[in-house]
Structure 1
Amino acid sequence: MKPIAPGGGAATPSRSRRRPDLTLPLPQRDPSLAVPLPLPPLSAPSHPSNSAINSAINAAINTTTSITSETPRLSDLERLRRVGSGTGGTVWMVRHRSTNRIYALKVIYGNHEDSIRRQIYREIEILRTADNPFVVRCHGLYDHAGEIQVLLEYMDGGSLDGRRITSEPFLADVARQVLAGLAYLHRQRIVHRDIKPSNLLIDARRRVKIADFGVSRILAQTMDPCNSSVGTIAYMSPERINTDLNHGIYDGYAGDIWSFGLSMLEFYLGRFPFGDNVGKQGDWASLMCAICYADPPEAPPTASREFRSFIACCLCKDPARRLTAAQLLQHPFITMAQVPSSLPPPPPPPSSSVPAAASSFP
């Protein structure tokens, strides 16, 4: 008696409906490259209340030992002026009343889902443990009236977004400071994942610091995925966009170097390196194709040999051949550069930029 197929007809034994030998290869990722989450999961029910999350956040703030100074109370902070805003929130310049110290207060809008709030809270805790002169300091975290507020180091020069730096000695000094911050983060096994000009901040003393790793990336994924994805993709490495380019292996450290090199070249050119027709706000599909399949951008012939070599070391299509942050600090473009004392400071930020820490919002 022939077996009956689900449709009522006789099944054909010689035609198998399944091929057990066919498999879909999945990208192999190194779990050690993920941004570490040093805090254990909250000991709360699977759907904790806001009060439970708030209590956990406050407890973590009070028990963090990496910052010696006590986190100021939110009520002791006076908002002086708004220095930037976007769909995700607002950055305020604030003053601590008792010490007159100036901070940047980043107010994140919205009542986020509990899972998102926990993720933001954990990644802000990573920010709080970062202790390096080339990484923006996070001083505290508040959860007030449904808004997450982050107290950050204030950078009075604003972000480097939209700046053109034609002086190679000055650009080398900027690159040196960013690389020092990246080398520190990578030693801590922290991958930034969102290096771009708007996340590189400068102050009046020409000190450059890295900002916004972690939190902005989470917000970009949850609040404005269409618009924010273009800005993020613009600085992504080819193998991160298309995992087939590197056999499914993504090295987050090498990805940071690509983003860094693209940012340095943008400063030198005064425009996005992939061209005017494939810009950061253009057709994102064309932009991804250009990043993945076009030749990597190069420094122009008018640049020094050292700078052209430096950019080539950062924007190598093969991630295994990109130099690390520590290796790039030994490149002649960095070691041979001497910033003259008479070098003028960078121009003031344009009105559209945000002169404060963690300036970009999705």
Structure 2
Amino acid sequence: MRPGPGRTNRPRRRPDLTLPLPQRDPSLAVPLPLPPLSASAMPPTASFQIPSFSDLERLRRIGSGTGGTVWMVRHRPSGRIYALKVIFGNHEDAIRRQICREIEILHTADNPHVVRCHGMYDHAGEIQILLEYMDGGSLEGRRISSETFLADVARQVLAGLAYLHRQRIVHRDIKPSNLLINSARQVKIADFGVGRILAQTMDPCNSSVGTIAYMSPERINTDLNHGIYNGYAGDIWSFGLSILEFYLGCFPFGENLGRQAGDWASLMCAICYSKPPEAPPTASPEFRSFIACCLQMEPQRRLSAAELLRHPFITRTQAPAAITVSACGVRTRKDGGWAVESAFLGNKSPP
């Protein structure tokens, strides 16, 4: 463009002069509304397929608690068996949509030691989650006195934990009742992810003894560890406590501590201020060291799941004895020190 009459092209005095961009006050920001809740309560994905809810037949109840009930269900067209977890209570739409987003994340989890989450339904106002069925149930109340057997259980749980932690997923509620087994002797972690979202609606005080009992000291008392909580280290504490409980056949801080109504304060004080539990002197040095690497008061001193997989307690063991499946459940050979069927699927302690 040529200059007009009487005008000349002059260089700018400030060639670097620019107008400042307007700054937005974040306090005035208005978030976009969330999309409406779909009939299936699942965010649409190209690859996701979930059985129709009308095709599921409830067979029997296999578990229940303060938060909900778990049913054994059969998919009529295929005959496949699933577990259906029904969450008690009607939740606000915002909570439901948050759960849907979390379920979509859990649906992508793919590890042989993590219970598969197939999806969820919003049926009759209840949130219902379709899960992989584990026919051996949970390891709650089971005693595993064989160190070889226990090392294999620990290895499988650690493999699942290491996977979750690599995916930046913290379980927050590792305990025997959340460790499941099937007839192929696979041990898998259950109830991860969704529990932390539902915690405020299912249990506002977060006061379930079953949960507090396995919490790390720094999670119970925020004054410990300078108020810093590391969820990954917290999972390791809960894992170590669970493995020690399997070996002892009772809760490591005392069989009845905290189990009586109104005795939660004693339980929390024991966890936060007493010396961490140890494996008994009769246990092998490898097992005692393994438990000590998990149950450290200082979170930074606990080994990670990946590091524990390289611990001698895990690596020294040989391949487990061969197993066969019968109509009664799992039967294992007694050679190699393996426990018999009742250690997993029958009585709470081996004969």
Q: Find the aligned partners of 2:132 and 2:207 in 1 and give their Cα distance.
A: 24
1:227 Cα offset (Å): 7.7
Match of 1:287 in 2: 267
> Is the Cα–Cα contact under 8 Å of residues 158 and 349 in structure 1 kept in the other structure?
no
Change (3 A) 1:112 1:279: same
Q: In the alignment, does 2:306 pair up with 1:330?
A: no
Q: Find the aligned partners of 1:280 and 1:316 in 2 and give their Cα distance.
A: 24
What pairs up with 1:108-147 in 2 under 5 angstroms?
108-147=87-126
Q: Find the aligned partners of 1:119 and 1:141 in 2 and give their Cα distance.
A: 13
Match of 2:345 in 1: 348
Q: Find the aligned partners of 2:56 and 2:39 in 1 and give their Cα distance.
A: 21
> Is the Cα–Cα contact under 8 Å of residues 99 and 194 in structure 2 kept in the other structure?
yes
> Is the Cα–Cα contact under 8 Å of residues 137 and 153 in structure 1 kept in the other structure?
yes
Q: Give the gaps of 5 or more residues in structure 2.
A: 1-30, 323-332
Deviations 1:97-119 (A, max 9, x none): 11111111111122112232233
Match of 1:359 in 2: none
Match of 2:24 in 1: none
Deviations 1:172-219 (A, max 9, x none): 000000000000000001111110000000011110000001223443
1:322 Cα offset (Å): 0.6
Q: Find the aligned partners of 1:87 and 1:319 in 2 and give their Cα distance.
A: 30
1:43 Cα offset (Å): 5.2
1:280 Cα offset (Å): 4.3
Match of 1:54 in 2: 38
1:348 Cα offset (Å): 2.5
Match of 1:250 in 2: 229
1:129 Cα offset (Å): 1.3
Q: Find the aligned partners of 2:98 and 2:209 in 1 and give their Cα distance.
A: 23
Structure 2 letter corresponding to 1:336: R
Match of 1:299 in 2: 279
> Is the Cα–Cα contact under 8 Å of residues 220 and 229 in structure 1 kept in the other structure?
no
Structure 2 letter corresponding to 1:323: L
Structure 1 letter corresponding to 2:185: R
Q: Find the aligned partners of 1:128 and 1:324 in 2 and give their Cα distance.
A: 25
1:228 Cα offset (Å): 4.5
Q: In the alignment, does 2:80 pair up with 1:91?
A: no
Match of 2:80 in 1: 101
TM-score normalised over the length of structure 2: 0.80
> Is the Cα–Cα contact under 8 Å of residues 77 and 96 in structure 1 kept in the other structure?
yes
Match of 2:8 in 1: none
1:232 Cα offset (Å): 1.2
Change (3 A) 1:143 1:277: closer
Match of 2:168 in 1: 189
Sequence identity, in percent?
76
* Match among 37, 48, 53 for residue 74 of structure 1: 53
TM-score normalised over the length of structure 1: 0.78
1:120 Cα offset (Å): 2.3
Q: Find the aligned partners of 1:299 and 1:243 in 2 and give their Cα distance.
A: 27
Q: In the alignment, does 2:262 pair up with 1:317?
A: no
Match of 1:269 in 2: 248
Structure 1 letter corresponding to 2:285: R
Q: Counterpart of 2:57 in 1: which secondary structure? A: strand
1:291 Cα offset (Å): 0.7
Structure 1 letter corresponding to 2:316: M
Computed over aligned residues only, the root mean square deviation of the Cα atoms, in angstroms, reads: 2.1
Structure 2 letter corresponding to 1:63: T
1:157 Cα offset (Å): 0.2
Match of 1:27 in 2: none
> Is the Cα–Cα contact under 8 Å of residues 200 and 211 in structure 1 kept in the other structure?
yes
Q: Counterpart of 2:128 in 1: which secondary structure? A: strand
Between 1:110-119 and 1:229-238, the stretch displaced more is 110-119
Change (3 A) 1:142 1:56: closer
Q: Give the gaps of 5 or more residues in structure 1.
A: 1-41, 352-362
Match of 2:33 in 1: 44
